[in-house]
Every structure is written in C-alpha cells, then in structure tokens.
Structure 1
Amino acid sequence: MSADAEQRSIRCLVAKVGLDGHDRGAHVIARAFRDAGFEVIYSGLHRAPAEIVQAAVQEDVDVLGISILSGAHNTLVPKIVDGLKEYDAFDDTLIIVGGIIPDGDREKLYELGVAEIFGPGTPMEETVSFIRENAPERR
C-alpha cells in the first residue's frame, strides 16, 4: 500500500465536548486533517461525552481529537476515556486534545491516556505529523 493510501485510511473524529461554543479551531483542524488526506468526522457543538464515545465507536475512528476551551477538560475528558474503555475502543484510539489546557492539568490528562495536547498556535504540520506517526494500524 502506498504512503498516500495509508494516510487516507486514517479516520479522525474532531469532537466538541460540553458547553464550549467556540468551534473555529475545530473547523481549522478538521480542514487541515482533510487536506492531509485523513477521513474526518466533525461532531458538531455541545456534545456530551457519551455522544462522542458513541460516534467514535460507531465510526470506527483511529483518532479522537477533542477540542476544548471551556476549562472543563478535567471532568469531560475522563468521561470520554472511561466510555471508550467500556466499549473496548480505548486501546485502538489515539486520543489528542486541542485547546487551552493549563500546564498544571496536562500530566493528569496524559496519565488518563491522552497521547498529546496541542495548544493554540500549534502548527498544523506538527499535529498532522504526530497523527501519522502515532495513529494505530487499521483493524
């Protein structure tokens, strides 16, 4: 399989969780992922953790990108991780978080299983490269 075909096979869910209504960054990253050849599903705004888990499982995604700016990451991300574990989808899903995450909260998210956290201003190429290097093989 060519490198281009492998890149196109990476399925990503870009998810907006909770009451966070700022989705500009999520749209920008979804476009960058599409331009990189990834299959992209966008959750829409104001999704509950259970809705995001359901979408990730139903769409059989390789990557779950959680966009959060509301400050509720310590409450919402663990619920998503727990939900993925309930469906045995955690080990097969690369979880990344984008948004404003204080330095003091990052270690807890990494301990939960978040692979990487990307803050505002992160170059798109950096995020795309991270996914290409770390996305699980298709099942």
Structure 2
Amino acid sequence: MGVDQQQRTIRCLVAKVGLDGHDRGAHVISRAFRDAGFEVIYSGLHKSPDEIVQAAVQEDVDVLGISILSGAHDTLVPKIVDGLKEYGAFEDTLLLVGGIIPDDDEKELKDIGVSEVFGPGASMEEMIAFVRENVPERR
C-alpha cells in the first residue's frame, strides 16, 4: 500500500438492494466502518441495482458493500457487477456482499467478481481488515 493510499480516507457505500427490508446489519456495519475511520454512505432501503451503481459512481466510492438477506443475491448482484463494468468503475471498486448466502452461491458471486462474502458471525474486525488490505489503489 502506497503512502497516498494510507493517508486517503476509504469511501464506502453500504447498500440495501431489492425488497429486503432488514437493515440492522447494514447499520451495524456502517457504524463499525465509520468507527474505523472510513467515510460511509448508506443507501437506504429498497434500492434497485441501477440506483446503487449510480450512487457508487457518483460518490466515487472505494468499497461497495451490498447487504442482502432476501435470497435474490443471484439475480441482483450480477446486475450491480454489470452496471459497475458499464461505467468503468468495476476495477476501482472493492465489492463485498453480506447476508445469508449459500456456499454454492458464494462461489458463483466470487466468480463474477465479488471480492468477499461475509455471512452471519463474521467479525467487524475481519471485515475492516479485509477492506484495508484489499481496497484498490487509486489513480
């Protein structure tokens, strides 16, 4: 990690996609990321994949964390990946997914470009360390 990378504040968008209305975990993660010194934007509930991509691009985030518990991850996350690629933002964005994701689906998500999947019981320290170690270098 270069000197600029250490001094620059990591910008994160924590997003709720689709009809999933359970946001306690997203709020807990947002608070933990803020406490770790990250700049955090929370999308609010019921956002479409396109709305999330637009927010990630407009806010020029380093990290996009998708919180999804509805079971629609196999449909919605690929749309977000495609949107990030369409805007040329995929390579510069660390994409994380959190929620209840079956093991087979976790592999599929990683195959399309999700950097990591965090399930129930993942520690905040583990997530923060993963972000710090894997956030993309910026131009």
Q: Which residue of 1 aligns with 2:29?
A: 29
Aligned-partner residue type, residue 78 of structure 2: P
The Cα of 1:137 is off from its aligned counterpart by: 1.9
Mapped to 2, the partners of 1:59 and 1:38 lie a distance apart of 14
| Structure 1 residue 5: Cα displacement | 3.2
User: Using the alignment, how far apart are the partners of 1:28 and 1:75 within structure 2?
Assistant: 25
What is the alpha-carbon distance in structure 2 between the residues aligned to residue 12 and residue 3 of structure 1?
15
Aligned residue-pair number = 137
Q: 4+ residue stretches of structure 1 with deviation over 4 A?
A: 1-4
Please name the residue that 1:80 is paired with.
80
Contact 1:15 1:44 in 2 (8 A): yes
Q: Which residue is equivalent to 1:43?
A: 43
Deviation for aligned residue 1:121: 1.3
CA distance in 1, matches of 2:26, 2:75: 20
Q: Secondary structure at the match of 1:47?
A: coil
Match of residue 116 from structure 1: 116
Aligned equivalents of 1:122, 1:109: Cα separation in 2: 18
Which amino acid in the other structure matches residue 55 of structure 2? A
**TM value normalised by structure 1:** 0.95
Structure 2-normalised TM-score? Answer: 0.95
- In structure 2, the partner of 1:69 is 69
Kept in 2, the 8 Å contact 1:64–1:93? The answer is: yes
Q: Percent identity?
A: 77
Q: One-letter code of the match for 2:73?
A: H
Contact conserved, 2:5 with 2:137, CA < 8 A, in 1? no
Q: Aligned letter for 2:113?
A: G
In 1: Cα distance, 2:77 partner to 2:126 partner: 22
Gapped regions of structure 2 (runs ≥ 5): none
**Whole-angstrom distance in 2 between the partners of 1:122 and 1:55:** 26
Alpha carbons 1:65, 1:95 under 8 Å: kept = yes
